[in-house]
Amino acid sequence: MRLAVLRERREFEARVAASPETVKKLAALGMTIAVEAGAGTRSGWSDADFAAAGAEIAADAAAALAGAGIVFAVQMPDAAERAAIARGALLVSISNAFADPALVPALAEAGIDAAALEMLPRITRAQSMDVLSSQANLAGYRAVIESAAAFDRGFPMMMTAAGTVPPARVFVIGAGVAGLQAIATARRLGAIVSATDVRPAAKEEIKSLGASFVGVEDEETKAAQTAGGYAKEMSEAFRQKQAALMAETVAKNDIVICTALVMGRKAPVIVTAPMVAAMRAGSVIIDLAADAGGNCAATRPGEAYVTENGVKILGHRNWPARIPVAASSLYARNLLTFLSTFWDKEAKAPKLPETDEIVKGVMLTRGGAVVHPQFLPAQAA
Ligand code: NAD
Alpha-carbon distance of 175 to 196, in angstroms, equals 7
Query: Average pLDDT of 374-378?
Result: 87
Q: Is the CB of 175 within 6 Å of ligand 1?
A: yes
In this structure, the residue with its CA closest to atom 13 of ligand 1 is 260
| pLDDT 10s digits, 191-232 | 999 999 999 899 999 999 999 999 999 999 999 988 888 899
- Top CATH class of 2-119+324-369 equals alpha beta
Q: Is the CB of 255 within 6 Å of ligand 1?
A: no
Q: Return the domain boundaries, the chain.
A: 2-119+324-369, 136-322
pLDDT score at 380: 59
Decide if 2-119+324-369 and 136-322 have a common fold. yes
181 included as an active-site residue? no
Q: Which CA distances in Å does 97 have to 25, 76, 77, 128?
A: 29, 9, 12, 22
| pLDDT 10s digits, 79-121 | 999 999 999 999 999 999 998 999 999 999 999 999 999 999 9
Q: How far is the CA of 2 from the centre of ligand 1 (A)?
A: 36
Q: How far is the CA of 322 from the centre of ligand 1 (A)?
A: 21
If we measure between CA atoms, which residue out of 75, 69, 91 comes closest to residue 15? 75
Query: Average pLDDT of 276-302?
Result: 97
pLDDT score at 156: 97
Q: Is the CB of 176 within 6 Å of ligand 1?
A: yes
The band of 265, judged by pLDDT with boundaries at 50, 70 and 90, is confident
Q: How far is the CA of 234 from the centre of ligand 1 (A)?
A: 14
Query: Average pLDDT of 259-265?
Result: 90
Beta bridge partners of 313: 285, 305
User: What's the pTM?
Assistant: 0.95
Count of C-beta atoms within a 10 Å radius of residue 229: 13
Q: How far is the CA of 286 from the centre of ligand 1 (A)?
A: 18
Count of C-beta atoms within a 10 Å radius of residue 48: 11
Q: How far is the CA of 344 from the centre of ligand 1 (A)?
A: 33
133 included as an active-site residue? yes
**Ligand 1, atom nearest to 177 Cα:** 25
Q: At what angle do helices 324-341 and 20-28 cross, to 10 degrees?
A: 10
Q: Do 97 and 364 touch, CB atoms closer than 8 A?
A: yes
In this structure, the residue with its CA closest to atom 41 of ligand 1 is 122
Q: Is the CB of 206 within 6 Å of ligand 1?
A: no
- Top CATH class of 136-322 equals alpha beta
Q: Is the CB of 53 within 6 Å of ligand 1?
A: no
Alpha-carbon distance of 248 to 193, in angstroms, equals 15
| pLDDT 10s digits, 23-48 | 999 999 999 999 999 999 999 999 99
Q: Where are the alpha helices (DSSP H) in 189-323?
A: 202-208, 219-222, 236-252, 273-277
Q: How far is the CA of 66 from the centre of ligand 1 (A)?
A: 39
The active-site residue out of 46, 127, 208, 240 is 127
The active-site residue out of 113, 130, 197, 291 is 130
Q: Is the pLDDT of residue 284 over 70?
A: yes
Q: Is the pLDDT of residue 381 over 80?
A: no
Q: Is the CB of 35 within 6 Å of ligand 1?
A: no
> Mean pLDDT for the chain?
96
Q: Is the CB of 370 within 6 Å of ligand 1?
A: no
Q: Do 65 and 84 touch, CB atoms closer than 8 A?
A: yes
Top mutation candidate among 199, 203, 239, 246 for ligand 1, by most atoms within 8 Å of CB: 199
Q: Is the CB of 177 within 6 Å of ligand 1?
A: yes
Q: Is the CB of 213 within 6 Å of ligand 1?
A: no
- Element containing residue 286 per DSSP (H, E): strand 284-287
